[in-house]
Structure 1
């Protein structure tokens, strides 16, 4: 695999100006206020598994429009006191999976919450269980172009709102330390974690891993692999909608969310990543307001990034900030 982007010394200082809508904050304030008006209390129910060291519960919470979203709540067996929490968002077209496949964070002593991404879960892994009841006008197969000509109807408006509402729900749970909540995820999950960190109250740290969904215009023009090419194919047909599409995407760009993040942040990037260009990751990272920030660079990896090596580094980094 070759390097896919700028040299590392240029990436370290890469801080592009991108579209920022004047009503960006107002749009998200209104969106979240509407979701909270429609919300209802989260529910949790024990899930039987043969595992002896962790406990699984299904968490159902109120997402966008008061719609029911599912998540796993995984905790160390027989723990005492209030647990710090890691909320994880999942990569593109994956789901929360089946009980037992995600054990790392609970094994490290955290309550681990894994959000099911609405409508996704059939591209890899072991599935999802949350529908997206909203339709779309014409779109290219996948999720990237659903509702893409209207910020109010765009698919990721619902997903980002779900992510924030999950944090609201987690803060209300018994046995949880609401002052020690971190958000993480890889690829799409990393992009969602950036948005959730910017839009939520009381998040203590964010750990986006090879995060997707940033610097859309560069990504769409230069990335040769899916899923950004979904937008390319859409615009190849809808030649008159280019400005309209990028205006919509500016409300969902990780760079604009990063500018609103001041909590500790630990990113990762892979320099041979053909799915998420390194410059799009650095564009978000370099716009952070965080005084405590770091980025782990995997020079000879693709979109898999650091995998378990990075997970162990994340655990050490987070333990120093949420003891």
Structure 2
């Protein structure tokens, strides 16, 4: 069920927009400033009826030192850590809702998304930063400048989550995988690009890839938020795209050096395949790519998880 370019064209598709001048410096300064803002990693162990895992309610410093919430689920004798970032509109929910990677024997950090958690799962982290005029949703929030963009804050939170792992019970000196679906996939790729401590990364149908192409290729949200904004602010198209280029994952992934896995639904109207392939084709070394010709934004679903479990055994634990 193709909704975009044929697969042969996707495999060679390149992002039509160049990366902003000084992009690496922009992100180096963003991360340095947030790390300098301080803040403590706090992990409070909870009494919980799950008998095979220990549960910690975690707060760690994110962008500008803002407190970000997470769950830390720890099995006995954990080997390796999986940090999971969440899809658009969702929050960390309750501890028992996300136990997959702890059940596989990994320390498992489930990271809340600031200002989200009221669409498909509950969240606990506010976003204390204001913004100017924007379309409903997150994509155009703070679009006045790269410095005020919502997604600058959220991608910084992803990097700081990786920082936090070493200070969690049982987290020190563990290899780290970052994983996520949709928005969470974008955060995983950004964290891998911006943090040398990431051992391996996985993104299922990632958001924020090839933004200028994606907004043209789909009638579905969240990219329609940008379309709505540009339909109203008719004279700001180039300005808005130039700002969003700073968080376009296709411009960040050339910095990834760890083994990476990406899956794409060729029928995906939410995160169009051409946008995702703009990121895939910018990566060197090339990622391991799986395409699902009859699937949409769900990608491979549980099939992706089963393949990822073997991938993590190999790349995080060195098992064949």
TM bucket normalised to smaller = over 0.9
Partner of residue 302, structure 1: 296
Of stretches 50-59 and 200-209 in structure 1, the one that deviates more from structure 2 is 50-59
Partner of residue 283, structure 1: 278
Matched, 1:58 2:52: no
Partner of residue 104, structure 2: 108
Please report how far the alpha carbon of residue 175 of structure 1 lies from its aligned counterpart in structure 2 after TM superposition.
Answer: 1.4
Structure 1: stretches of 5+ with no match in the other structure:
none
TM-score, with structure 1 as normaliser: 0.95
Q: Given that residues 85 and 177 in structure 1 are in contact (C-alpha distance below 8 angstroms), is that contact kept between their aligned partners in structure 2?
A: no
Supply the distance in 2 between the matched residues of 1:240 and 1:16 (Cα, whole angstroms).
Answer: 23
Please report how far the alpha carbon of residue 299 of structure 1 lies from its aligned counterpart in structure 2 after TM superposition.
Answer: 1.0
Matched, 1:173 2:158: no
> Equivalent of 1:318, from 312, 315, 318?
312
Matched, 1:256 2:251: yes
Please report how far the alpha carbon of residue 149 of structure 1 lies from its aligned counterpart in structure 2 after TM superposition.
Answer: 2.0
Measured against aligned partners, the alpha-carbon deviations of 1:272-323 in whole angstroms (never above 9, x if no partner) come to 11101011111111111225x2111111111111111110100101111111
Please report how far the alpha carbon of residue 179 of structure 1 lies from its aligned counterpart in structure 2 after TM superposition.
Answer: 4.7
Structure 2: stretches of 5+ with no match in the other structure:
none
Matched, 1:152 2:147: yes
Q: Given that residues 39 and 63 in structure 1 are in contact (C-alpha distance below 8 angstroms), is that contact kept between their aligned partners in structure 2?
A: no
Q: Given that residues 179 and 204 in structure 1 are in contact (C-alpha distance below 8 angstroms), is that contact kept between their aligned partners in structure 2?
A: no
Matched, 1:122 2:121: no
Q: Given that residues 178 and 202 in structure 1 are in contact (C-alpha distance below 8 angstroms), is that contact kept between their aligned partners in structure 2?
A: no
Measured against aligned partners, the alpha-carbon deviations of 1:61-103 in whole angstroms (never above 9, x if no partner) come to 0111111110111111xx23x6311111000000011110111
Secondary structure in 2 aligned to 1:39?
A: coil
Supply the distance in 2 between the matched residues of 1:84 and 1:262 (Cα, whole angstroms).
Answer: 19
TM-score, with structure 2 as normaliser: 0.96
* CA separation of 1:13 and 1:176: change in aligned 2, threshold 3 A: same
Partner of residue 267, structure 2: 272
Please report how far the alpha carbon of residue 7 of structure 1 lies from its aligned counterpart in structure 2 after TM superposition.
Answer: 1.0
Q: Given that residues 187 and 209 in structure 1 are in contact (C-alpha distance below 8 angstroms), is that contact kept between their aligned partners in structure 2?
A: yes
Matched, 1:33 2:32: yes
Supply the distance in 1 between the matched residues of 2:95 and 2:174 (Cα, whole angstroms).
Answer: 27
Partner of residue 195, structure 2: 200
Partner of residue 47, structure 2: 48
Measured against aligned partners, the alpha-carbon deviations of 1:169-203 in whole angstroms (never above 9, x if no partner) come to 11233412535101010000001111111111211
Q: Following superposition, which runs of at least 4 residues in structure 1 exceed 3 angstroms of deviation?
A: none
